[in-house]
Amino acid sequence: MGSGGDAPFNSKFTIYVVACWILAAFGGLMFGYDIGISGGVTAMDDFLIKFFPKVHERKLHAKEDNYCKYDDPLLQLFTSSLYLAALVASFFASKFCTILGRKYTIFLASLFFLGGAGMSAGAHHKWMLIIGRILFGIGVGFGNEAVPVFLSEVAPVQHRGAVNILFQLFVTIGILIASLVNYNTSTLHPYGWRLSLGLAGIPGVVLFFGSMILTETPASLIERGKDGKGKSALKKIRGVDEVDDEYEEIKKACEVAKQVKQPFKKLMKRESRPPLIIAIMMQVFQQFTGINAIMFYAPVLFQTMGFKNDASLLSAVITGSVNVLSTCVSIYAVDKCGRRVLLLQACFQMLISQVAIGVILLVFLNNTGTMNSSLAIVVVILVCTFVSSFAWSWGPLGWLIPSETFPLETRTAGFAFAVSSNMLFTFLIAQVFLSMLCKMRAYIFFFFSAWILAMGIFVYFLVPETKGVPIDAIAERVWKQHPVWKKYMDNKDDNGGMKAVEMA
């Protein structure tokens, strides 16, 4: 039952541990709500009149170019500034995770998110909007760093994939709730947009009180020298008293971790490259599927295709619903089918969807006027097939795989690179998508299609299967067995010499 065998450690479901999973996953709901809310708010006339009147004038212009009516750097900065703040915050969050633990880092995330909700909802100037977005961003950086690591560390190995995907499920629920909120507040003039932004405080409140109930993870407690509390926490989250085997494995990993005084420097070593490269590239590819371009600006995108404002918001609700339901498929399939099967299948489905959308827009959507309503519905269906495949694969697995593949000594530092990479490329997509749509027009979908093809090749040759492998046995049973990555795990440092540190 140790790391060398295939049998899982003793555990059983309890109400308390399920509550911990759900409460922690509210960090994902905060993130998802913000992804979904910004696109709908930027499509609201009252919001544009107050902060971006020039954009509103272009929107009303009957002959305005369909692809360029929303092209405004400051409008895009409203959406993207959050992710730039999250990028920086993720590195500070890594330190907080190590020093204070996962539980208190989640608590801090809720405070920043509450501050962001208050500032955004009460904004009267653009600078207030941006500060509110930055506070949101810090909260996202802290939450996205701590929550997936927390979920991976408290989940039993046989259910780790499903438990970790709760984070992404709540992200999709947040996006759906935001779409429903926008659909209903768009008719509340002139302050509907304030209500949309202010309601972000509700998941923040849940996470604030929920973080007080959460137990700290055993790995974090033992890593900080609190062995007794760590073993008690392990018994509590496993629901059984016989935890000696798992406790010893965690303790062994912690003893190795204590020898690493500078985890970020350790990440630059040869043996750390496989999980680091995978973690970063998973985030790059996740964003270059084009998913957040669609989820951020779904109402704007559907208006471009000729839908009226209410219809475009309703279409965003439909895609949000597909997103949630498809993520539930991943929760069921990830620990049965494995990670690689889901990733490869999704690449095929997303490629077909993106190419088809690009062809339809290229042929049938002129610079002015609207698209035939039947074809517009076809595009919505294609968007749904794209979103569904992403939601059961690259969405949740983009967070799961980095959270489970780093050893304990570099786990929070390595995951900080994953989070920051995600935020960097989310920022870039959010900041330039509307301008790219204006310049590239329908060809933007072919741009994303090329990236999806590259993703499939990357997964096929370089992404290992981690289904059913204990989190602290990944190095031995995954990296050292992989045909490409095993050469990085040859027990030699970058200068070719043998490592000085003996494994415990």
What DSSP assignment string belongs to 320-337?
HHHHHHHHHHHHHHHHHH
Q: Which residue has the higher pLDDT, 31 or 373?
A: 31
Q: What is the mean pLDDT of the chain?
A: 85
Which pLDDT score, from 0 to 100, does residue 146 have? 94
Query: To 5 degrees, how large is the angle CA 117–CA 120–CA 438?
Result: 120
- Look up the pTM and report it: 0.78
Mean pLDDT over 320-324 rounds to: 90
Residues 6+ apart with CB under 8 A from 336: none
**How many domains is the chain partitioned into structurally?**
1
The answer to whether position 162 is within a domain reads: yes
User: How many angstroms separate the CA atoms of 138 and 86, rounded?
Assistant: 5
CB crowding 472-501: b at 16 or more within 10 Å, else e: bbbbebbbbebeebeebbeeeeeeeeeeee
**Alpha-carbon distance values, 493 to 270, 278, 419 (Å):** 6, 20, 27
User: How many angstroms separate the CA atoms of 223 and 240, rounded?
Assistant: 22
- 492 beta partners: 498
Question: At 3, is the pLDDT very low, low, confident or very high (cuts 50, 70, 90)?
Answer: very low
The radius of gyration computed from the CA coordinates of the chain, to the nearest angstrom, equals 23
Mean pLDDT over 294-320 rounds to: 68
**Alpha-carbon distance values, 310 to 180, 246, 358 (Å):** 11, 54, 24
Which pLDDT score, from 0 to 100, does residue 66 have? 61
**Alpha-carbon distance values, 175 to 31, 168, 169, 247, 322 (Å):** 8, 11, 10, 38, 11
- Among 254-268, 321-335, 402-416, 434-448, which range has the highest average pLDDT? 321-335
Question: At 61, is the pLDDT very low, low, confident or very high (cuts 50, 70, 90)?
Answer: low
Upper half-sphere CA count for residue 210 (Cβ side, 13 Å): 23
Which pLDDT score, from 0 to 100, does residue 1 have? 34
Question: At 324, is the pLDDT very low, low, confident or very high (cuts 50, 70, 90)?
Answer: very high
**Alpha-carbon distance values, 488 to 53, 187, 272, 475 (Å):** 55, 58, 8, 11
In a 3-state reduction of DSSP, which class is residue 99? helix
Tens digits of residue pLDDT in 386-445: 999 999 999 999 989 998 888 888 888 898 899 899 888 888 887 787 788 788 878 888
List the CATH number of the domain containing 471: 1.20.1250.20
Angle, helices 102-121 vs 15-42, to 10°: value is 30
Q: How many helices (H) and strands (E) does the chain have?
A: 23, 0
Which pLDDT score, from 0 to 100, does residue 29 have? 93
- Among 73-82, 191-200, 283-292, 465-474, which range has the highest average pLDDT? 191-200
Which pLDDT score, from 0 to 100, does residue 67 have? 65
Mean pLDDT over 477-496 rounds to: 76
The answer to whether position 82 is within a domain reads: yes
Residues 6+ apart with CB under 8 A from 209: none
490 has pLDDT over 70: no
User: How many angstroms separate the CA atoms of 330 and 400, rounded?
Assistant: 11
The answer to whether position 150 is within a domain reads: yes
- 30 beta partners: none
User: How many angstroms separate the CA atoms of 297 and 61, rounded?
Assistant: 20
Closest by CA position to 345, among listed 460, 239, 423: 460
Q: What does the block give as tokens for 57?
A: 């004038």
User: How many angstroms separate the CA atoms of 106 and 216, rounded?
Assistant: 11
What's CA 123's distance to the chain center, in Å?
Answer: 27
Mean pLDDT over 274-301 rounds to: 82
Burial class (CB in 10 A: 0-12, 13-18, 19+), 15: exposed
Contact 452, 289 (CB under 8 A): yes
Q: Which residue has the higher pLDDT, 215 or 77?
A: 215
Site of tokens 């990670």: 339
Closest by CA position to 278, among listed 427, 484, 93: 484
Which pLDDT score, from 0 to 100, does residue 423 have? 86
The answer to whether position 301 is within a domain reads: yes
Contact 407, 257 (CB under 8 A): yes
Q: Which residue has the higher pLDDT, 294 or 238?
A: 238
Tens digits of residue pLDDT in 115-124: 999 999 999 9
Q: What share of the chain is helix, strand, coil (3-state, %, to 5)?
A: 80, 0, 20
- 498 beta partners: 492
Which pLDDT score, from 0 to 100, does residue 65 have? 65
Tens digits of residue pLDDT in 133-155: 899 999 999 999 999 999 988 98
Q: Which residue has the higher pLDDT, 198 or 298?
A: 198
**Alpha-carbon distance values, 64 to 360, 369, 392, 422, 439 (Å):** 20, 9, 37, 34, 14
Q: Which contiguous run of DSSP H or E holds residue 450?
A: helix 443-462
Tens digits of residue pLDDT in 166-216: 998 998 899 889 888 988 898 898 999 999 999 999 999 999 999 999 999
253 has pLDDT over 80: yes
The answer to whether position 430 is within a domain reads: yes
Provide the residue range defining the domain that includes 389.
15-214+260-487
The answer to whether position 9 is within a domain reads: no
Which pLDDT score, from 0 to 100, does residue 356 have? 92
pLDDT above 90 as % of the chain: 42
What's CA 48's distance to the chain center, in Å?
Answer: 28
Q: Which residue has the higher pLDDT, 426 or 236?
A: 236
User: How many angstroms separate the CA atoms of 117 and 56, rounded?
Assistant: 24
User: How many angstroms separate the CA atoms of 375 and 293, rounded?
Assistant: 21
Which pLDDT score, from 0 to 100, does residue 397 have? 93
Which pLDDT score, from 0 to 100, does residue 6 have? 46
Angle, helices 443-462 vs 339-364, to 10°: value is 160
111 has pLDDT over 50: yes
Tens digits of residue pLDDT in 82-102: 888 998 999 899 999 989 999
Closest by CA position to 3, among listed 157, 225, 148: 157
Termini Cα distance of the chain: 18
